[in-house]
Chain A
Amino acid sequence: MAVVTYRDALNQALREEMQRDPDVFLMGEEVGVYQGAYKVSRGLLDEFGPLRVVDTPITELGFAGVGVGAAMVGLRPVIEFMTWNFALLAIDQLVNSAAKMRYMSGGQVGVPAVFRGPGGAALQLAAQHSQAFESYYAHVPGLKVVMPATPADAKGLLKSAIRSDDPIVFIEGEMLYNTKGEIPEGEHVVPLGRADVKRSGGDVTIVCHSKTVSIALKAAEELADEGVEAEVVDLRTIRPLDAETVLSSVARTHRCVVAEEGWPFAGVGAQVVDTIQREIFDDLDAPVLRVTGADVPMPYNKHLERAAKVDSAKIVSAANQVLYRGRDA
């Protein structure tokens, strides 16, 4: 097993899929000559040339639409958004064009495109650059939403996304690009729609995805120090949601905390909680709690920013609440 960064894992996935399938191409701002704003596409222009690694003008709506159109006639575009904040300019193409095409054409025209780039907050980038948009896209039938938390998942899920015949919203973690992890040698593909238990435990389930996975694992360590064994379930794919894995964990632990970077209102966690209460209400020993980003635009000031973000202490606190521990302490 080789240890690689999340960034290089994505790069490997792109390279391998472009080698495998000549219909796969990469398009976006600064993906070619600049080698990617986050260097995910490093070396790809040299290897595949400018027809397959296409630098675009700053026109998110335009090049997202170009990707949809190319996919409608059978190419397999990977459209890079420099960040998902900028992709709001293109959301019409994802929601009105990509997601609907198969349905409104009566099944004739699919859109096998991947839209990818970093989401979530980094450090002190302030309100317009620090947003988690997964719930926006997960709301839309026709889209699949994928959010890897580790290098191995980043590689394996991106490969599956590129091979999918449906439009994929692939949200990477801006703060994850430098993280390292082991990746299996050789062909490594992770199927879409399957959550992964990142840590086993019998006392409480922590459901999380993307950047909150490492935060949840840290919280689980802290809880273990207090004698509480938390199970950490990484959703990996937000839509379709792997309800089975979540439910089987919560049915065993009877307690659950759902963590996400985004805002609370109509967030991913709301859907997870709905699923749990509907399917296994009788298995619950406590109301499911959610830990989310603060319900405010992200402040610039680093202390305020820290207060707005999910951290392990907030998850530990929520876990203790669902365990009815330390409430009076």
Chain B
Amino acid sequence: MATTAAARPRPRGGLDPGLADKYRDWLRQMLLIRRFEEKAGEAYSLGKIGGFCHLYIGQEAVAVGSLAALGDDDYITCSYREHGHALARGISPQTVMAELFGKAAGCSKGKGGSMHLFDASLGFLGGHAIVGAHIPLATGMAFAAKYRDTSQVAVCYFGEAAVNNGAFHEALNMAALWKLPAIYICENNRYGMGTALERASAIYDISERASSYDMANEVVDGQDVLIMHAAMERAVQRARTAKIPTLLEVRTYRFMGHSMSDPIHGHYRTKEEVEGQRKRDPIALWSQRLIAEGLMDEAAIKALDKEIIREVEEAYQFAEEAPDPEPEELYRDVYAEDGGGRGTADTGS
């Protein structure tokens, strides 16, 4: 059952002219994520965003290419580096930015923050901030799809550092054992915080781990949105029709530090390495492709970028001006019946 990237024909060559609007939209989404993240970084530096803030710059093609292959009622779970996925799934930049600002209009009412973006109406079931712990959740969502005999799939995004974690093994084993429609997307950006893959994993090719569970797998170039999308379409097809899971090892790179407190290149990677990787900027690659294929020209891309910068600026203004949650929100949403009031064990002092 296992497949390798080498064995698969990659979708080189012509783009489908019938999909031109879709291709342009992928660029729009990637640019939106890039500009949004730049703005979020700026807001963080100004103290408008608190806590931890993990930017997605450099990995945009992964979220955009893969999420474009999903349907409206599929389930998505992510790690804490999930601003890009939230935007690509269609949560508005205003409500994502407002969430980063901790405002009531945020997509999690200001109670989740950067690491816990949710929009249940879009099947976007969270950023989760314990490495690897959300992987079994996705397996559970895939179990629910099987249980209800729907054609839904459950997609889970996590970094390569999560694959050394027990939750990963347990979740993938059960998904394969029970033939669940799950897609596990390992965004291999080479570093778990400051620890390089080869300093943490005995196996370099993460996709090979799928063979432990006789699970379909592919290695995917995550800087190329078209390749990402094609691999995801195959995985979705397997999940929907064959009802089996897939592990995608997506090779990508984060251009920024692990979080806002980490410089772009710290002690764990060199400036040269980062600059080398930046030559495969997913947005530049896709822009060039669209120009080469005659689907957009440079002026159109510039105009698009301007429009997006304005959109992000509006999101920033919206977040800035949005009110904080009411004080009563402190005690809401702990339990189903909570409408506010004291916590059950609070002393009230």
Binding site for B on A (CB under 8 A): 25, 51-52, 54, 56-57, 59, 61-75, 77, 92-93, 96-97, 101-110, 112, 141-142, 144, 164-166, 239-241, 271, 274, 278
Contacts and interface: CB of A to CB of B under 8 A. Distances in A.
A67 B109 CA distance: 25
Interface string B327-349: 00000111111000001110100
B140 A102 contact: no
Given A65-B170, A69-B143, 18 more contacts: A57-B173, A57-B177, A61-B167, A65-B139, A66-B136, A66-B140, A69-B137, A72-B141, A73-B125, A96-B133, A97-B134, A104-B108, A104-B126, A105-B126, A108-B120, A109-B120, A141-B345, A165-B336
A266 B222 CA distance: 49
A165 B337 CA distance: 9
B171 A65 contact: yes
A65 B111 contact: no
Contacts of B108: 104-106, 108
B276 interface: no
Interface string B160-172: 0000001101110
B116 A105 contact: yes
B107 A106 contact: yes
Given A72-B125, A142-B334, A239-B345, A104 B116 contact: yes
A265 to B, nearest CB: 17
Contacts of B138: 69
25 contacts: A51-B146, A59-B170, A61-B167, A61-B170, A62-B167, A62-B170, A66-B171, A68-B140, A69-B137, A69-B138, A70-B144, A73-B125, A75-B147, A102-B335, A104-B112, A104-B126, A105-B111, A106-B333, A107-B109, A108-B118, A109-B125, A141-B334, A166-B336, A271-B345, A278-B347
Contacts of A101: 126
A251 B135 CA distance: 50
B120 A103 contact: no
Given A75-B147, A106-B112, A97 B137 contact: yes
B58 interface: no
B125 A68 contact: no
Given A92-B133, A109-B120, A109-B126, A62 B173 contact: yes
A82 to B, nearest CB: 16
A59 B130 contact: no
A102 B116 CA distance: 11
Nearest to A90: B136
B106 interface: yes
Contacts of A67: 140
Nearest to B120: A108
Contacts of A63: 136, 170, 174
B128 interface: yes
A77 B128 CA distance: 21
A209 B216 CA distance: 50
A103 B335 CA distance: 8
A186 B158 CA distance: 48
Contacts of A73: 75, 125, 140-141, 144
Contacts of B345: 141, 239-241, 271
Contact of B130 (A62, A74, A92): A92
A70 B174 contact: no
B119 interface: yes
A241 B138 CA distance: 33
Contacts of B134: 65, 97
B68 to A, nearest CB: 22
Contacts of B136: 61-66, 68-69, 93
| Among A25, A61, A96, residue most surrounded by chain B Cβ atoms (within 10 Å) | A61
Nearest to B113: A104
Contacts of B135: 65
9 closest residue pairs by CB, A with B: A69-B140, A65-B136, A62-B170, A106-B109, A69-B137, A165-B336, A107-B333, A105-B118, A66-B140
Given A56-B174, A102-B335, A109-B125, A25 B147 contact: yes
A281 to B, nearest CB: 13
B140 A106 contact: no
Contact of B141 (A56, A59, A69): A69
Interface string B256-273: 000000000000000000
B120 A65 contact: no
A29 B126 CA distance: 28
Given A65-B171, A66-B143, A69-B144, A106 B344 contact: no
Contacts of A110: 336
B174 A103 contact: no
Contacts of B141: 69-70, 72-73
Contacts of A65: 133-137, 139-140, 167, 170-171
A59 B136 CA distance: 11
| Among B134, B136, B154, B345, residue most surrounded by chain A Cβ atoms (within 10 Å) | B136
B173 A106 contact: no
A97 B127 CA distance: 11
Interface string B59-96: 00000000000000001010000000000000000000
A16 B30 CA distance: 51
B181 interface: no
